[in-house]
Structure 1
Amino acid sequence: MKQYILERLKEPSTWRGLVLIATALGAKISPDQAEAIVLVGIGIVGLIGTFTKG
């Protein structure tokens, strides 16, 4: 199981998914700053896509 998790953490799609989940949770926690949280999350996903294969 540990090896499986480590292999998944090497995949860009895993990191994009984690960032998007964190962004969604942040939007619910702080509605006054939801737009900023979403923009940062989307920016991070864009960076992950730019600098990784996949």
Structure 2
Amino acid sequence: MIYAYNAIHWDRVHLGLADLLDAATPTWIPKAHRPTQADLSAFTDRAMKTADLPPHR
């Protein structure tokens, strides 16, 4: 999903949490291929926990 999102919303510097969550919930994906609410909730939870991790150095 993020590749398709990035093709439309090119950001040469940074794709962050908001971009990832936007890419996971586009309205242009046919309903048959959209994630279920449970999958989306689990994905959002994991993405937010990952975003909270300290930077790797």
Regarding TM over 0.5, the answer is: no
Instruction: Report the TM-score, using the length of structure 1 for normalisation.
Output: 0.44
- From the two aligned structures, give the one with the greater helix fraction: 1
